[in-house]
Amino acid sequence: MKTFLPFLFLLFLALAITGCGKDDPATPLGCNSQAFGEALSNVIMRLGDASVLYANDQTTANCNAYKQASRDYINEIEQFADCAGFGDTEEYRNSLRDARFELDTIDCQ
């Protein structure tokens, strides 16, 4: 858990910095930071809330809620994989795969 949250933050930051041009139709929303922010704002808020709740009260229910919020976040940012930049798309997809794997290793029992 200690390495997972910073990993998600760095992944988000890397995508925000290296996004495509504002008119690039790589996703239904395009590759601009406004589309990225609008698509992720609710998911990021839910992930942040779930993270804080689980950090303060490590129950099975809070753990499962944290894992689901993390899955939702990963699924949402996956739609922007083509915005990662030339040559970085495969690395981005590998990072998403690694994040899913690490998330699946969290035992909520």
Q: Where are the domains of the chain?
A: 31-109
Residue 65: closest CA among 45, 44, 51:
51
CA angle 105, 103, 60 (to 5 degrees): 75
Grade residue 27 by pLDDT with cuts at 50, 70 and 90.
low
Segment 16-39 mean pLDDT: 58
**pLDDT tens string 43-91:** 999 999 999 999 999 999 999 999 999 999 999 888 877 776 656 778 8
Segment 19-45 mean pLDDT: 66
Distances, alpha carbon 23 to alpha carbons 9, 34, 51, in Å: 25, 11, 34
Question: Can you list the alpha helix ranges (DSSP code H) found in the chain?
Answer: 4-17, 33-56, 60-78, 89-104
Segment 99-107 mean pLDDT: 91
Q: Output the pLDDT for position 6.
A: 55
